[in-house]
Amino acid sequence: MLVGDLYPPVISGVPADVTVNCDATLPSVGSPTASDDCDPSPKLSLQETTLPGACPQAYTLVRTWTAMDLCGNVTTRSQKVSVVDNKAPTFTANNPLLTGKKSGDVIKVNCNNEPILVAGDMKASDSCDPNPLVTITSKFVNGNCLSDGYYKRVTYTWTAKDACGNSASFVIYIDVSDTEKPVFTFVPANVTIHCTDPEPTSEATASDACDKDLTMTVSSSISQQPCGYLIYRTWTATDDCGNKATATQVVTVTDNQPPVIIGVPADITADCDQLPVPPNNVKATDDCDPNPKLTYSEEVPQGGCFGSYTMIRKWTATDKCGNVSTKTQKVTVVDNEAPVFTKIPADATISCEQMVPGVGQAKLKITVVAM
């Protein structure tokens, strides 16, 4: 009878097929064994074959165990280890401005400090691809500074993609605002003017680092003074974000001119018994004071001839700022007429023994005759 071995060995303990990520440790080969009905120690060998995948970091590892008995019967068992890359890259900041920021964070800056971000400001790393590709895009929208908190928002988006097509994005919003007040570049100097001078009309100017079209308003207020008044011309410059700056010019309006006296008569010479009374139509006017004070006085020298002298009539006008003006009339008083007798005693003839009558208040002509 012929005895033979017609059946191949049996392989046991081959691991099941498995899929792992490229950054994971490959699973162990395990401890497969071979058994045979006739051969107590069949030969068992292992061969590994790598098959390329769809991308550089993906491949398939085929582990093939082969068992052969003494009669040349052969059997094989395989395990497929599918190595894949299904993890997206991750980002780390490469710019201090972005350190500690998360995707979607908002960074607020002033307009004169607005950063320009580039792809290299974020670094991408990948568990399988040593050099993932990083790109950046940006776009901006205008906002309302008062209601939105910014007048421009710039959105920066970084995209990292590895060789297997896994991608990740990182977004940062830069809100550009204006936190600084406008600056006045010209303010008219304080000035003193007379009350009849025109008010200054020069205007202040201002600039702003962010707003090229400031809103400028001007207002005036008056403060009365003991003499004259002050005009406060105040400009307010406002930017689009509501920041305001003010500047003021002080205009001092004063009165440095005396009143004008009108209606004073010319100098005259008058007889002592025909002295004119002072006129009552003398007036004082003033550019700034509607009611200057007007006073009148007379100066008559003492001594000299009673009927011949010079009288000075003086009018003095004073406004509320203390400016004073005077005008005078010189009245020269003369006596060019001899006295006139108003009563003279009549001529009389008396006896020598009679008393001579008194002269009274008149010059008498007296004739004495002998009896």
| Domains with residue ranges and CATH for the chain | 10-84 (2.60.40.10), 90-177 (2.60.40), 183-254 (2.60.40.10), 260-334 (2.60.40.10)
Distance CA 115, CA 130 (A): 29
Q: What is the pLDDT of residue 191?
A: 97
| Encoded tokens for 93 | 């900041």
Helix-strand-coil percent breakdown of the chain, rounded to 5?
Answer: 5, 45, 50
Reply yes or no on whether the pLDDT at 237 is more than 70.
yes
3-state secondary structure 319-348: CCCCCEEEEEEEEEEECCCCCCCCCCCCCC
- pLDDT on residue 4: 66
Q: Is 72 left (phi over 0), alpha (psi -120 to 50) or beta?
A: left
Residue partners of 72: CB distance under 8 A and separation at least 6 = none
Kind of pairing between the strands at 229-238 and 283-285: unpaired
As a whole number, mean pLDDT of residues 48-65 equals 94
Q: Please say if the pLDDT value at position 148 is more than 90.
A: yes
What sign does the CA torsion over 83, 85, 86, 90 have?
Answer: positive
CB 342 within 8 A of CB 360: no
Q: Taking residues 150-175, what's their average pLDDT?
A: 96
Contact 195, 206 (CB under 8 A): no
8 A C-beta contact, residue 199 and residue 175: no
| Residue 371: band (very low, low, confident or very high) from pLDDT cuts 50, 70, 90 | very low
Residue 273 has φ and ψ, to the nearest 5°, of: -95, 10
Share of the chain above pLDDT 70, in %: 93
Query: Given its phi and psi angles, is residue 123 left (phi above 0), alpha (psi -120 to 50 degrees) or beta?
Result: beta
How large is the average pLDDT for residues 142-161?
Answer: 94
Residue 246 · residue 236 · CB < 8 Å = yes
Closest listed residue to residue 118, CA positions, set 133, 132, 137, 99:
137
For 207, other C-beta atoms within 10 Å of its C-beta total: 14
Cα dist from 272 to 118, 223, 299, 312, 335, whole Å: 110, 55, 16, 15, 6
- pLDDT score, position 174: 97
Average pLDDT rounded to a whole number, residues 143-147 = 91
Q: How confident is the model at residue 305 (pLDDT cuts 50, 70, 90)?
A: low
Q: List helix spans (H) across the chain.
A: 145-148
- As a whole number of angstroms, the distance between CA 313 and CA 293 comes to 17
CA distance 100 to 335: 115
Residue 290 falls in which region: left (phi positive, over 0), alpha (psi -120 to 50) or beta: alpha
pLDDT digits (tens, 9 = 90+) for 34-55: 999 999 999 999 999 999 998 9
CB distance 93 to 99 below 8 Å: yes
Nearest one of 279, 273, 286, 284 to 313, comparing CA atoms: 279
β partners of residue 216: 237
